[in-house]
């Protein structure tokens, strides 16, 4: 019987337009109406993750930054995990030595040294996902984030740690040279205090080893008194594996990477075809005997 559901966002709950389909919304509400907690589990920062949710009337808890931050339905921060100075130095030095571009995610915003390069990266991500990149929309989104302060443009990242209250929670690295990005990811993953994953081919999501979706989901399940064998998790990429491999109902999207499909026991439709909603309704009606 399913008692808790966790869903990734990009490539999973969201379609290419970064929207939550009516089918997915209705399925989440259906689960909630039957006493099942539905958690968003994403590599996005909260201020990015909440944007598509705010366009609906859904109210959900969040696992953000791959588990570096957890918030309840009222947006209260329940837990955080950040990178200390030595870990930040190790990560950034390695990336600089390999000439790999990166952004810094903190508890207050995202820092970038080059918005133009960000644009090229977002276009590349969309195209690698088999989508047609809407350049104007991406440009407007970047500018909107700069205007509202969630994307901060700096000359360099050297002084971020000196800002009172600023905690570095994730480093997001990009490179079109897939061989190089894979090599660096393997190198950084050798550190026992770092978790290295990916949400798209060509990127690395680097957090503290305590900051993983699977660890955060396990904590939430424990708090709710739910055994992990009664948890469903849905995802499409490498940063979802830590939760898929822990739960009783691991579901891969049709558009998922092969690594995710290998881990998952179940498959559903693609993110473009409301795969999350279809899986939730199918399993709740069959496993939970809900009509």
Task: Tell me whether the CATH fold assigned to 2-79+209-287 matches the one assigned to 83-206.
Answer: no
pLDDT confidence of residue 129: 64
Q: Was domain 83-206 assigned CATH 3.40.50.800?
A: no
How high is the pLDDT of residue 90? 97
159 contact partners, CB below 8 Å, separation of at least 6: none
What is the reported pLDDT for 122?
77
Position 59 scores a pLDDT of: 97
pLDDT string in tens for the chain (291-residue length): 999 999 999 999 999 888 999 999 999 999 999 999 999 999 999 988 999 999 999 999 999 999 999 999 999 999 999 999 999 999 999 999 999 999 999 999 999 998 888 888 777 777 766 667 788 888 888 888 888 888 999 999 999 999 999 999 999 999 989 999 999 999 999 999 999 999 888 899 999 999 999 999 999 999 999 999 999 999 999 999 999 999 999 999 999 999 999 999 999 999 999 999 999 999 999 887 776
Rounded Cα distance between 31 and 57, Å, is: 15
Homologous superfamily assigned to 2-79+209-287:
HAD superfamily/HAD-like (3.40.50.1000)
What residue segments make up the domains of the chain, in order of their start?
Answer: 2-79+209-287, 83-206
CB-based contact 222:3 (threshold 8 Å): no
Eight-class DSSP state of 66: G
- Determine the Cα–Cα distance for residues 107 and 168; give it in Å rounded to an integer: 7
Q: What is the pTM of this model?
A: 0.92
Write the CB contacts of 129 (distance below 8 Å, at least 6 apart in sequence).
11, 16, 200, 255
> Is the torsion defined by CA of 142, 143, 146, 147 positive or negative?
negative
Q: What is the structure's pLDDT at 123? A: 79
Closest CA to 66 of 49, 54, 51: 49
Q: Which residues contact 265 (CB under 8 A, 6 or more apart)?
A: 249, 250, 251
């Amino acid at each position: 019987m399913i008692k808790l559901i966790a869903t990734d966002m990009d490539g999973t709950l969201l379609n290419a337009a970064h929207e939550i389909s009516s089918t997915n919304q209705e399925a989440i509400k259906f689960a909630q109406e039957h006493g099942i907690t539905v958690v968003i589990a994403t590599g996005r920062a909260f201020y990015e993750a909440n944007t598509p949710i705010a366009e609906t009337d859904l109210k959900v808890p969040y696992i953000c930054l791959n588990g570096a931050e957890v918030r309840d339905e009222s947006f209260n921060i329940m837990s955080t995990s950040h990178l200390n100075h030595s870990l930040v130095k190790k990560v950034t030095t390695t990336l600089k030595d390999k000439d790999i571009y990166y952004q810094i995610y903190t508890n207050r915003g995202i820092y970038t040294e080059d918005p133009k390069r960000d644009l090229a990266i977002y276009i590349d991500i969309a195209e690698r996902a088999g989508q047609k990149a809407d350049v104007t929309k991406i440009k407007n989104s970047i500018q909107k984030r700069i205007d509202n302060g969630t994307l901060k443009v700096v000359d360099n990242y050297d002084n971020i740690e000196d800002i009172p209250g600023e905690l570095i929670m994730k480093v997001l690295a990009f490179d079109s040279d897939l061989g190089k990005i894979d090599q660096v990811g393997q190198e950084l993953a050798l550190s026992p205090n770092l978790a290295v994953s990916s949400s798209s081919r060509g990127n690395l999501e680097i957090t503290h080893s305590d900051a993983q979706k699977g660890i955060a989901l396990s904590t939430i399940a424990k708090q709710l008194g739910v055994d992990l064998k009664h948890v469903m998790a849905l995802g499409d990429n490498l940063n979802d594996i830590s939760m898929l491999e822990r739960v009783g109902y691991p579901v891969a999207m049709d558009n998922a990477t092969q690594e995710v499909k290998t881990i998952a026991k179940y498959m559903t439709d693609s993110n473009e075809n409301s795969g999350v909603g279809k899986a939730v309704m199918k399993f709740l009606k069959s496993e939970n005997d809900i009509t």
